[in-house]
Amino acid sequence: MLTIAVVGGKKSGKTTTIELMVKELANRGYQMAAVKHISEPNFTIDTKGKDTWKYVQAGARTVIAVSSDEIATVERVSTKDVKLEEILKRCRNQDVVFLEGFRELVAKDKHICKVAVVNSPEDFAEAVDAYEPILAFAGTYSTEEACPGIPYVDVLKDPKKLAYIIEKGIKKKL
């Protein structure tokens, strides 16, 4: 399984980059997972007043909702000390796992490739300093002159190019 962290500042285009890569790689037949770190305090995917919410309020630590097209699991646990490996175990049987967020957990982890979304020289400098290894740069700021050894892709104009770079990584892992 290839794990790729898509990193960058707020509103930089991380979600759009993942969305485009999932679409492109799914069309090529790959199985993918996407994991999003949400830093908003007290965020819940559950809806107040719904049955699943009532189960949690009653004391259930794990609630599984099954519908005709999906299964959702809500686990009420402290995530303060959750290790990335524990999260990735939930993505078993996938060819690629995309991570968004988890800045501190992924920054220098050499087992996780990064796609750095950069939109300015400052974003570029921060990414080079903070992350390794960087598989590619994406975003509106071209890094081709500043960093010729790492590919740059304007993912909005050419998502297939970034998908090809990622696909090469998948094939190395298989």
Convert the pLDDT of each residue in 39-67 to its tens digit: 777 777 778 888 988 998 898 989 988 98
pLDDT of residue 174: 60
Rg over alpha carbons for the chain, rounded to the nearest Å, is: 18
pLDDT of 77 reads: 77
What is the distance between the alpha carbons of residues 88 and 83, in angstroms, rounded to a whole number? 9
- What is the biggest distance separating any 2 CA atoms in the chain, rounded to whole angstroms? 58
Q: Is the pTM of this model over 0.85?
A: yes
Distance, CA of 133 to CA of 114 (rounded, Å): 6
Distances (CA, A) of 116 to 16, 108, 120, 121, 145: 13, 13, 12, 12, 16
Q: What is the architecture, at CATH level 2, of domain 2-40+78-173?
A: 3-Layer(aba) Sandwich (3.40)
- Domain locations along the chain: 2-40+78-173
Q: How far is CA 142 from CA 49, 113, 117, in A?
A: 48, 19, 10
pLDDT at site 124: 94
87 within 8 A of 35, measured Cβ to Cβ: yes
Task: Say if residue 110 is exposed, middle or buried (CB neighbours under 10 Å; 0-12, 13-18, 19+).
Answer: exposed
Burial class (CB in 10 A: 0-12, 13-18, 19+), 51: exposed
pLDDT (tens digit per residue) in 83-141: 888 889 888 889 999 999 888 888 888 989 999 999 999 999 999 999 999 999 999 99
Does residue 81 register a pLDDT over 90?
no
Kindly report the number of other CB atoms within 10 A of residue 72's CB atom. Answer: 12
How far, in Å, are 90, 118, 127, 135, 146 from residue 112 at the CA level? 16, 18, 14, 9, 23
Q: Per the structure block, which two tokens stand in for 82? A: 């959750």
